Amino acid sequence: MSYDVRLLRTDFPLLRRVVNGYPITYLDSGATSLTPRTVLEAMDVYYSRHHANVHRGVYQTAAEATAAYEDARAAVARFIGAAHADEVVFTKNATESFNLLARAWGAANLRPGDVVVVTEMEHHANLVPWFQLRDSHGIELRFLRVGDDYRLDLSNLDELLDGATLLSVTAMSNVLGTINPVVHLAERAHAAGALLAVDGAQSVAHLPTDVQSLGADFLAFSAHKMLGPTGIGVLWAKQEHWDRTPPFLGGGGMIADVTLDGFTPADGPARYEAGTPPIAEAVGLGAAVRYLESITMESVAAHELDLTTYALERLTSSFDGRVRIVGPRETTERGGVISLDVEGVHPHDVSQVLDQYGVCVRPGHHCAKPLMRRFDLAATARVSFGPYSTRPEVDTLVDALGQALEMFS
């Protein structure tokens, strides 16, 4: 099937919105993606026909709810190339996934002086939990820096990995758009005796993902960035690592037995999914996976590469250097996230002016303050594409940016 973005856009109800008298131009998929009708319908069917708690009741609708929930887990496992569905644990979002990784696996397996290597371009979700573990357990943190070319400086990678237990890195920067060489990083980490954790919040939604080919040991991502609902994320790990990870939260659903002397945790993903899980959201995530599989991630990646190439060309040629692209100019090893530093205009002002033309972009530090400081920035105006984004939307963005520059000149 050919990739017909105009036809695909009819699947997204929000794209029919009119904002301030203009058709909406949604260029904030890096923050949260739009949701296709099939995802909304799947969640509605769950609530209207199967709504019951999972892994508890034995009546028909409860069995249907459990089947739908576990079908979603199997779909996610298939989508990322996991060896088995039980390697997939549902969380609230990628942030909670990293907290589970640090507070459960990390607290159980890292000792004072053990080394975790992270990078200067990480989202706070892949920084703060490790700082907290440093403060509570005495681990050492080391940092891969970012070069002037907006890519990781790997010149001292082996030195940083010497004696390390874990390297934790984003696959794709949510600020720069840089796609990091995860396969190479996995090889170097494993050669040094370290494991590799990957922040896939940006990459899983836009690129084909196979955890086996990547060489990852852990992968975290969120549903709402890949056409799914908010409130659900994923932490995948190889089974051998789950075997060494105690429960993260305690309560109902995550136990095999409880006595007045203590408790025995459940086996499998239930061990980490305490309480009533996000059932409808899991169903929605499963529907989002099936939608992306139907259009293929290869087609999504090719479409967004074409769009990013076009956007970089237009943004570079249209403003006489007054709009700085904070990220690689070349489309090799970069995705559809484009951060802009507009001369003389604060990113929040840029965003507000663009909103008057129905254009949605994200101003701010994007939960990456160390990276902002690296490039002497307080914030940027970030443009980010999704499978439904188009070249005419890029043209609308460029026209609106011209208006912002004129207004503040």
Interatomic CA distance for residues 381 and 383, integer angstroms? 7
In a domain, 17, yes or no: yes
In a domain, 163, yes or no: yes
Name the pLDDT band for 1 (thresholds 50, 70, 90).
low
Query: Are residues 237 and 146 located together in one domain of the fold?
Result: yes
Query: Are residues 254 and 387 located together in one domain of the fold?
Result: no
Query: Are residues 323 and 348 located together in one domain of the fold?
Result: yes
Can you give the CATH number for the domain in which 233 is found? 3.40.640.10
Which sign, positive or negative, has the C-alpha torsion 282, 284, 285, 286?
Answer: positive
The label of the residue with tokens 């250097």 reads 321
User: For residue range 295-329, what is the model confidence (pLDDT) as tens digits?
Assistant: 999 999 999 999 999 999 999 999 999 999 999 99
**Per-residue model confidence (pLDDT) at position 409:** 81
**In this predicted model, which residue has the larger pLDDT, 57 or 259?**
259
In a domain, 95, yes or no: yes
Catalytic residue, from 367, 371, 394, 404: name it: 367
Query: Are residues 212 and 355 located together in one domain of the fold?
Result: no
In a domain, 119, yes or no: yes
Decide if 367 is catalytic: yes
Query: Are residues 321 and 365 located together in one domain of the fold?
Result: yes
Query: Are residues 18 and 88 located together in one domain of the fold?
Result: no
In a domain, 118, yes or no: yes
**Per-residue model confidence (pLDDT) at position 332:** 85
Query: Are residues 128 and 90 located together in one domain of the fold?
Result: yes
For the chain, the first-to-last Cα distance in angstroms comes to 47
Instruction: Name 71's bridge partners.
Output: none
Closest CA relative to residue 380, chosen from 369, 395, 396, 392: 369
User: For residue range 132-163, what is the model confidence (pLDDT) as tens digits?
Assistant: 999 999 999 999 999 999 999 999 999 999 99
What percentage of the chain exceeds 90 in pLDDT? 98
Do the strands 323-326 and 337-342 form a parallel or antiparallel pair, or are they unpaired?
Answer: antiparallel
Last residue of a domain, one of 266, 294, 322: 294
Can you give the CATH number for the domain in which 336 is found? 3.90.1150.10
pLDDT for 184 beyond 90:
yes
128 CB-near residues (< 8 Å, 6+ apart): none
Query: Are residues 197 and 311 located together in one domain of the fold?
Result: no
Number of separate domains in the chain: 2
Query: Are residues 142 and 264 located together in one domain of the fold?
Result: yes
Query: Are residues 137 and 203 located together in one domain of the fold?
Result: yes
Last residue of a domain, one of 234, 259, 294: 294
In a domain, 212, yes or no: yes
Q: What's the domain range around 237?
A: 40-294
Residue 259 tokens, joined: 């006595």
In a domain, 35, yes or no: no
**Per-residue model confidence (pLDDT) at position 2:** 75
In a domain, 234, yes or no: yes
User: For residue range 18-33, what is the model confidence (pLDDT) as tens digits?
Assistant: 999 999 999 999 999 9
Q: Output the pTM of the full model.
A: 0.97
Last residue of a domain, one of 273, 294, 315: 294
Provide mean pLDDT across the span 62-71.
98
Query: Are residues 348 and 384 located together in one domain of the fold?
Result: yes
Query: Are residues 256 and 130 located together in one domain of the fold?
Result: yes
- Identify the burial level of 63 via C-beta atoms within 10 angstroms of its C-beta, where 0-12 means exposed, 13-18 middle and 19 or more buried: middle
Closest CA relative to residue 232, chosen from 89, 68, 122: 89
